Amino acid sequence: MTNVCTAGLDVGFASLDYLQIFILGVIQGITELLPVSSTAHMRVVPALLGWQDPGSAFSAAMQLAALAAVVSYFWRDVRQVTTGSISAVRRGDYNDPWFKLAVAIVLATLPIGIAGLALSSTLNTCNSPLRGLMVIGIACVVMAILLALAEVRARHTRDVGQMRLRDALIVGVAQIGALIPGVSRSGSTLTAALFLNFKREEAARFSFLLGLPAIALAGLKELWVLLHADMPAHAWPHLIFGLVVASISAFFAIWGLMKFLERFSTWPFVIYRALLGVFLIVAVSTGLLS
């Protein structure tokens, strides 16, 4: 497969048909919010099926679908964090739990914001070395090991209301790993929160709320870049269609994950990530994939 470049951006999705966009939209929506890495799947699935790589610009812009799903599912939390923190500032009550949570989210967003800007020229460029299948395979295996260690070590006793600024910063630093395909934003933040002894569902809840600013900034930035990239006119309907499909699948992915983590551990994701990573490493090493 070749890269389709426009103003230095890989916009391979413009050459895909609507059925392919639909399939990738469903996969993107589901994997964006599960701890399995959406960018890895956006690279691996087309490679396996012999399709054009949709490009990192597609994956980045598709994050807005996750944004819509998270806001819809956690609307009560989003509203309370927003209104509660504003009310706390007006009262001068900086010990208000909603204000503290808002500060924690902002603090945890700073690391990936800084790192994303510093690496933007590398992340979304054509032929980016970070989108290599070997890199993705290694990242999947490493994160599987870290998530497994978190499950073994975690005591699962804390909730979001007990989040300290130090905890938020640690989770925020872990989120930087999401810039590498195969790591997963939800996977890295969920793993860090488990290491800090948060309950599984509470770790996922904070991971999703923390992701709102990062997802919004990354998605809107990518749309801005695409607007100035002189893309083919037919690429925009493809992108909008993909966003709609991904939004719907992302909502059901959140619902399913939250229900799952209330009753079960993250071991199925550990096993899946490990198998996917080993498969990619072997496939690239033997020449099956490139």
Cα 259 from Cα 33, distance rounded (Å): 14
Burial of 244 (0-12, 13-18, 19+ CB in 10 A): middle
pTM tops 0.85, yes or no: yes
Q: Output phi, psi for 266, to 5 deg.
A: -95, 10
Q: Is the pLDDT of residue 147 over 90?
A: yes
> Please, what sign has the CA dihedral across residues 181, 185, 190, 191?
positive
Cα–Cα distance, 260 to 41 (Å, whole number): 21
Widest Cα–Cα separation across the chain: 64
Say how far apart CA 124 and CA 146 lie, in whole Å: 26
Contact 111, 99 (CB under 8 A): no
* Comparison of pLDDT for 264 and 5, the residue scoring more: 264
Q: What is the pLDDT of residue 9?
A: 63
Residue in 99, 74, 84, 75 with CA at minimum distance from that of residue 204: 74
Residue 148 contacts residue 275 (beta carbons within 8 Å): no
155 class by beta-carbon count within 10 Å (0-12 exposed, 13-18 middle, 19+ buried): exposed
At 134, give phi and psi (nearest 5°). Answer: -65, -40
In the numeric block, the tokens 């070395």 are attached to 129
| Nearest alpha carbon to residue 289 among 50, 41, 54 | 50
Phi, psi of 128 (to 5 degrees): -60, 130
Tell me which residue of 13, 38, 36 sits closest to 237, measured CA to CA: 13
As a whole-number percent, the residues of the chain with pLDDT over 70 amount to 94
End-to-end CA distance of the chain: 9
**pLDDT bracket for residue 187 (50, 70, 90):** very high
Selection from 231, 229, 190 nearest residue 13 by Cα: 231
More confident residue, 40 or 144: 144
Decide if pLDDT at 120 tops 90.
no
Which one of 4-18, 105-119, 263-277 scores highest in mean pLDDT?
263-277
Tokens of 75: 């609307």
Does the pLDDT of residue 286 top 90, yes or no? yes
Query: Tokens 């909603």 appear where?
Result: 98
Residue pLDDT, tens place only, 128-139: 777 789 999 999
The string of pLDDT tens digits covering residues 47-106 is 899 998 888 778 778 888 889 999 999 999 999 999 999 999 999 998 898 999 999 999
Please say whether the beta carbons of 170 and 104 come within 8 A. Answer: no
